[in-house]
Structure 1
Amino acid sequence: MVSDRGEVPKGSAEIFFRKVKFWKDDGEGDAPPVFNADGVNYFHVKDAGLLFVATTRVNVSPSLVLELLRRIARVVKDYLGVLSEDALRKNFVLVYELLDQIIDFGYVQTTSTEVLKSYVFNEPVVVDSSQLGPAGIFMAKRMPVTTITKSVVANERGGRKREEIFVDIIEKMSVTFSSSGYILTSEIDGTIQLKSYLTGNPEIRLALNEEVSIGRGGESIYDYGSSLGSGAVILDDCNFHESVHLDSFDVDRTLTLVPTDGEFPVMNYRITQEFKPPFRINALIEEAGPFKAEVTIKVRADFPSSIIADKILVQIPLPTYTTRVSFELEPGAVGNTTDFIEANKRMEWGLKKIVGGSEHTLHAKLTFSQESHGNITKEAGPVSMTFTIPMFNASRLQVKYLHITKKSKSYNPYRWVRYVTHSNSYVARL
């Protein structure tokens, strides 16, 4: 822990760790991003399994501190190439120097990777990307692994720097289904993120769908075709990075900018118009006797078979008097895991991957310590689901082309455009 003003006790790092670690044991779920202990305010964000923490005794804006921590995480990732415990350990001196330049006596100076390059001179120690595992490599099948995890400040072997640029369309989806399967609420929080490895910072032009419109018009974008098909894309609202020029955005939906070093959001947007959710969840819980009940969960993937979702986890809280759960998977099920978390009275169903168009079913038999009284559905649920779907975006927002101003006729940098959808709050009521 770096102490800039010495106003918090030396053991605050240990206090924070114990508070967060044992928060669940107190039956209160995960620790909130902001909490107070012994007069010290603790703020933290989690990124790639790492906790970035700030402490103060002063009454400051939580939003400000949390945004600062996210930007610090982004700067560290820009320099190290990847966020991992091993990378931080091997680059401790560099990270300490970065923090020293970002914050001076408790006051923020800059979080710009471009500006920090003039003051930070330590070279990052590159971590072997093969040690990251499949979860740490985003879309590795579609591009070289080294391009995903390399630093924006370090040169490659031979002292040369590979000219390339990444554009990621990342969407976080929130959907609530009724007990009969109807969509009650739906929302997409999206961002177009850019990471540049171009020398000389040439101007780039990034074109979106011409059908993009901003502001609710009462229309629906519900479509049973491909997520990357044509059609209107209606954004409720959006905002742009300060470096983006919008001179021609109203005419042809083109964004012009000179990208700085590092990763930054070019555009953030929000959609609450009706869209086709990638998964349908059907869940049923029924009494099967005085001290027994049965749960059936069906998950159907409503996207093309060429797309594969991964890291799927389905959870459902059970009645507090549940003592035992036995699971029954469908025949031929591969890569499935099931568990009953007795401390929280919650059952979990994990699936390694789901291919588009497929359907998966889980049956579970519950044993109770007492007879249930009244409606059992009120004592269980709702079903929640987390997932990641590479190369899919329900909003159908697309990057039509990415033009880079040429320095010479032979200048032709690599361009990578990637799509990914994450679940934010994906819930089905019983």
Structure 2
Amino acid sequence: MASCIYFCDSKGRSILSRRYRDDISPSAIEKFPSLLVDSEQESNVIPPCLTHNGIQYLFIQHNDLYVLTMTRSLSVNVAQVFAFLYKLVDVLAEYVKTVEEESIRDNFVIIYELLDEMMDYGIPQITETKMLKQYITQKSFKLIKSAKKSKNVMRPPSQLTKSVSWRPEGITYKKNEAFLDVIESINMLITAQGQVLRSEILGTVKVKSHLSGMPDLKLGLNDKGIFTSDGNASQVDSSTQKRSNIELEDLKFHQCVRLSKFENEKIITFIPPDGDFELMNYRLSTPIKPLIWCDVKIQVHSKSRIEIHCRAKAQIKKKSTANNVEILIPIPDDADSPKFKYSHGSVKWVPEKSAIIWKLKSFPGGKEYSMAAQLGLPSISDLEIPKAKRPVQVKFQIPYFTTSGIQVRYLKINEPKLQYQSYPWVRYITESGDDYTIRTA
């Protein structure tokens, strides 16, 4: 996959390197600084892949560092390369806290050890931080030696000799619990007339495992257009599944999930890592109606003041309630002297964002609230007509609700040796994504 790993400073000069193959000359890294400069001069934006003399320079930028790998192969899995580079930075952060030029120079011994364990001949090997910490310590920067009398014998951690590499043995809890959160983020682009131009659901199933021993969990989900009888899933690659008018574009599992069991029976079985982890995530591009709809009208009076009327409606079931709703309405940069009238919540003028923010702590389904604002426009000229070109942004969170209809039918926990009583907890949350916006009239 990769011939080498380099850590370079902000100018692209090598600080530390580990070579796995000899197909690329060590002098190739000397060209990297000039490639960065040429690329920045051409487009002002440096792409994550540069090519020179048949060598592909693939890199990410983190703080004042470039983390770089090189390859001559055109068939390399680029997504896997970047996933490894980002994972490498995450692992280093667990050891050196802040990954930057100074910390790389100060901790080169432990970084070399990690590079040797995480990749072999350019192929990723161990990337689980919990397992690496079993035998690479932060304080001594040396491998932990075997407890036997022979001091020169190095033993791999027990996780390397078993199929369950992500979970050590001997974990114990006084109270055995598993918490499962189904979180769906909604991104939408809506016209001023209420037409949905784009919508998607980004779903994540998060697990917090506080379970003793080596438990085996079985998770059953409903089949309302989410999974099909002939669908496939992959831990690395995306898959496409269709049923009715719902299209599941991406479905990815944590490595602990037994994929063959899921493909055959649509049941998710796994031995969980200890603590917090993402069990699965998915994406749905499907037409859905706005959950929180805002009708915003902006009027200019005598070119000296602007008036804004906002009517917000919670278009969710009456038994559901949206919490911590924030409606950010853009206003002209020079608007001032605001006056507000509103039926519920609180309204605040935020001049640094050129916006007013209407906050509703609780917004029950089916309810409709209104707000009016009037602001002065001191710098208006006869040739200018103020217009807020930016869309309205909406944030919200709806507990006990999923837009896709995904539901957990059961979560069974079995520890064959300990046979303890366990307590599974399931929670559903739907929230606004990073791009839930409504255009203004």
TM-score bracket, shorter-length normalisation = 0.5 to 0.7
Aligned partner of 1:190 among 166, 182, 203: 203
User: Which residue of structure 2 aligns with residue 349 of structure 1?
Assistant: 358
| CA–CA distance in structure 2, aligned partners of residues 386 and 103 of structure 1 | 41
Equivalent residues of 1:113, 1:262 under 8 A apart = no
Distance 1:101 1:244 in 2: 34
Aligned to 2:87: 68
User: RMSD of the TM alignment (CA)?
Assistant: 4.2
Is 1:328 the counterpart of 2:340? The answer is yes
Amino acid at match of 1:253: K
Counterparts of 1:58-97 in structure 2, within 5 Å, are 58=68, 63-64=82-83, 67-68=86-87, 71=90
User: Structure 2: how far apart are the matches of 1:58 and 1:420?
Assistant: 38
1:15-414 mapped onto 2 (5 Å cutoff) = 43=61, 55-56=65-66, 58=68, 63-64=82-83, 67-68=86-87, 71=90, 103-104=111-112, 107=115, 109=118, 111-116=127-132, 118-119=134-135, 160-211=173-224, 212-213=226-227, 215=240, 217=242, 219-220=244-245, 234-320=247-333, 322-331=334-343, 333-334=344-345, 336-341=346-351, 343-368=352-377, 369-371=379-381, 373=383, 376-377=386-387, 379-407=388-416, 411-414=420-423
Q: Quick one: which amino acid aligns to residue 329 of structure 1?
A: K
Instruction: Give 5+ residue unaligned stretches, structure 2.
Output: 1-5, 12-44, 49-58, 71-77, 98-103, 119-125, 139-166, 229-239
1:291–1:372 CA contact under 8 A, matched in 2: no
Find the aligned partners of 2:248 and 2:396 in 1 and give their Cα distance.
23
Q: Deviations over 1:312-357 (max 9, x none)?
A: 222233234x3315142324x34x241232x442222233332333
Local SS of the residue matching 1:304: coil
Normalising by structure 1, we get a TM-score of 0.63
Shift of 1:57: 7.1
Contact between 1:164 and 1:198, CA under 8 Å: does it hold in 2? yes
Q: Structure 1 residues 219, 263: closer, same or farther in 2, change over 3 A?
A: same
Please name the residue that 1:428 is paired with: 438
Q: State the alpha-carbon separation in 1 of the partners of residues 357 and 363 from structure 2.
A: 16
TM-score relative to the length of structure 2: 0.61
Paired residues in the alignment total: 326
Identity %: 27
Structure 1 Cα separation of the partners of residues 316 and 90 of structure 2: 34
Query: Does the aligned pair in 1 maintain the 2:242–2:248 contact within 8 Å?
Result: no
Which secondary structure state, in structure 2, belongs to the residue aligned with residue 247 of structure 1?
A: helix
Call closer, same or farther: CA 1:420–1:381 in 2, change over 3 Å: same
CA contact (8 A) 2:214 2:271 kept: yes
- Partner AA of 1:118 in structure 2: Q
Query: Could you tell me which of 407, 427, 430 is aligned with 1:418?
Result: 427
Deviation at 1:406, TM superposition (A): 4.0
Unaligned regions of 5+ residues in structure 1, if any?
A: 10-31, 36-40, 45-52, 80-87, 89-95, 123-151, 221-232
C-alpha distance in structure 1 between counterparts of 2:188 and 2:368, whole Å: 19
Secondary structure, counterpart of 1:194 in structure 2: strand
| AA aligned opposite 1:112 | E
SS at the partner of 1:357? coil
Q: Partners in 1 of 2:110 and 2:285 — Cα distance? A: 36
Match in the other structure for 2:156: none
1:112/1:344 CA distance change after superposition, 3 Å: same
For the pair shown, the structure with the greater C-alpha radius of gyration is: 2
Equivalent position amino acid for 2:411 in 1: L
Structure 1 residue 63: Cα displacement: 4.8
Distance 1:388 1:346 in 2: 21
Q: Report if aligned partners of 1:337, 1:351 keep a CA contact under 8 Å in 2.
A: no
**In 2, Cα distance between equivalents of 1:204 and 1:160:** 17
